[in-house]
Structure 1
Amino acid sequence: MVMNAMRGSLGALAIAALLAGCASGVKLNETPVETRTPGADANAGAGAGAGAGAGAAPQSQVTTVSVDPNAAAAGAQRIVYFDFDSFVVKDEYRPVVEGQARRLNGDRARRVSVEGHTDERGGREYNLALGQKRAEAVVRSMSLLGVAANQMEPVSFGEERPAVQGSDEGAWARNRRVEIKDR
């Protein structure tokens, strides 16, 4: 009975931490844009037209960005790693979750499988449950970012599909993961 109360409290804390971590006062359409052109700082205080030839049109400092979700998917990260015995999405993997959410929001017909994995430690049933909690944590994070529930399917493989073989911390760390795969 005490264990159930502790699990409920830990679950509530994990959800509260996830929600607090997703909150941001910065709106995406109000984020300042910086110039990334090499040497642009050299003439910053020299006045308009400094450095430009006589009669030359000002050069744009805008960089073209591809908004094709399929093009972005080729280089997009799709793996979120977890700490031992944890299903909390760490801050360092928020960009992975946010990138996948943008991709799914950009193409509402796209569907993904969110696969939870564990290392070899622990019993089979425990690892299947932990893998499912990890997959569901990533799904909840993407849901908070606007991804429709019917676009994601959380599934657990527990310890059955290791990314790497081995029984050391390096191998275990690579196996504690969620993989986001297109269906």
Structure 2
Amino acid sequence: MKPLQTLLISQLAAMLIFPAMLWAVTPCEEANDYVTEVEYLDSLIHRTLQKDLLQQALTLCPNHPEAHNHLAVILALENKNSEALYHFQQALKTRPDSPQAWFGIGELYYQQNQWPLSLAAYLQVCTRHQKARQRVAELLRDSRYRITDANRVLNYDSLILLYDKKRLQRLHQKVARCRNQDRSIAPDVNTVRAILQPIVVFQIIDFEEDEQDFTEVLNEQLDNMALIFTEMKVKHVIIRGYADNPAFSSKAKAARYRPWQKSQDRAKAVKTALSQRGIAEKRIKTYGYGDTRPVVRGHDEVAWVSNQRVEIEVRY
């Protein structure tokens, strides 16, 4: 018998004797089928079925990155942000460079107004994900990622990202790398350099004319900052107050409005609040610049809101 015939007969015999071994499907291969089925379903109509299929896929293959990513997206649509974040993070354990997972995490933080964390997530895939680059450009414009206001609280993780020197250096490196590929994310190189500054900006628009009336949100924000300053053992805290001079309808009211004094009072009020939270007064310096350094020029409401601000910087 010829060698080729012998080989073919041997292979045929093996197929007849061990068919199960030849056609066996691994659990993760079976999970692939569930994930593929999910991708063909309309999430608006079949969301429950999609979740069931993805759960089955993860039961078969617990580390399946696509299953985790798809499930995270669905959970995010249902505003189950903690669960969505968990599944994006699980996907990254198996596939650390997953664009879908990093962009998804960025979107979760963005919707929660944790812009420093969203910027960090988008930068992980900035060089290879167009929508991530668009978000990076948006957050870098006017240093938006470091601005908060009376309606938002930057949590501990966001604040530590803005105040920790090493974390800021890593952010700076990633922005520079992305800008080398696409300069449109930060046309002005000073925007990139500014990332290294450990500063948070509060747009404070809810003060009474002659008194500082901190909101619950601002108090919570200052609680978080004081905790971080204590943990980091910062040497100095520098508080800069700014104001604006809006066009008042009443001349008498305008005469009483003193931008320089207002900015001084605002900075001192924040200093007092931090000292009450355990930061030694001798380590805090305050400055008031009045309306001499507006970030937005003009006399409309947008300019007024933007220029009513306090910057809090640390020195190590």
TM-score scaled by structure 2? 0.33
Number of residue pairs the alignment of both structures matches:
121
Residues of 1 paired with 2:314 and 2:298: CA distance? Answer: 28
The equivalent residue for 2:213 is: 88
Residues 135 and 152 (structure 1), Cα distance of their counterparts in 2 relative to 1, 3 Å cut: same
Q: What pairs up with 1:90-105 in 2 under 5 angstroms?
A: 90-105=215-230
Higher helix share: 2
Q: Which has the larger radius of gyration?
A: 2
Q: CA deviation at 1:77?
A: 4.3
Aligned to 2:300, which of 162, 165, 168?
168
Residues of 1 paired with 2:199 and 2:314: CA distance? Answer: 12
Residues of 2 paired with 1:169 and 1:72: CA distance? Answer: 28
Q: CA deviation at 1:177?
A: 1.3
Residues of 2 paired with 1:182 and 1:144: CA distance? Answer: 18
| Structure 1 segments of 4+ aligned residues over 4 angstroms from their partners | 69-72, 74-77
Can you list the C-alpha shifts for 1:34-91, whole angstroms capped at 9, x where unaligned? Answer: xx556x9xxxxxxxxxxxxxxxxxxxxxxxxx99x86462598442413363532222
In structure 1, the gaps of 5 or more residues are: 1-35, 41-65
Residues of 2 paired with 1:150 and 1:104: CA distance? Answer: 14
Contact 1:72 1:103 in 2 (8 A): no
Residues 70 and 116 (structure 1), Cα distance of their counterparts in 2 relative to 1, 3 Å cut: same
Residues 174 and 79 (structure 1), Cα distance of their counterparts in 2 relative to 1, 3 Å cut: same
Can you list the C-alpha shifts for 1:81-124, whole angstroms capped at 9, x where unaligned? Answer: 1336353222222233222211211133431211111112357x
Q: CA deviation at 1:132?
A: 0.8
Contact 2:296 2:306 in 1 (8 A): yes
- Tell me, what secondary structure is at the counterpart of 1:165? coil
- Tell me, what secondary structure is at the counterpart of 1:179? strand
The answer as to 2:282 corresponding to 1:159 is: no
Contact 1:115 1:156 in 2 (8 A): yes
Q: Over the residues paired in the alignment, what is the CA RMSD in angstroms?
A: 3.2
Residues of 2 paired with 1:70 and 1:81: CA distance? Answer: 21
Contact 1:104 1:151 in 2 (8 A): no
The answer as to 2:280 corresponding to 1:148 is: yes
TM-score scaled by structure 1? 0.54
Q: What pairs up with 1:1-183 in 2 under 5 angstroms?
A: 71=161, 73=163, 77-83=200-206, 85=209, 87-121=212-246, 122=254, 126-183=258-315
Residues of 2 paired with 1:80 and 1:150: CA distance? Answer: 25
In structure 2, the gaps of 5 or more residues are: 1-81, 87-155, 169-197, 247-253
Identical aligned residues as a percent: 24
Residues of 1 paired with 2:199 and 2:311: CA distance? Answer: 12
* Bigger relative contact order, structure 1 or 2 (CA pairs below 8 A, ≥6 apart): 1
Contact 2:203 2:306 in 1 (8 A): no
The equivalent residue for 1:8 is: none
Residues 159 and 70 (structure 1), Cα distance of their counterparts in 2 relative to 1, 3 Å cut: same
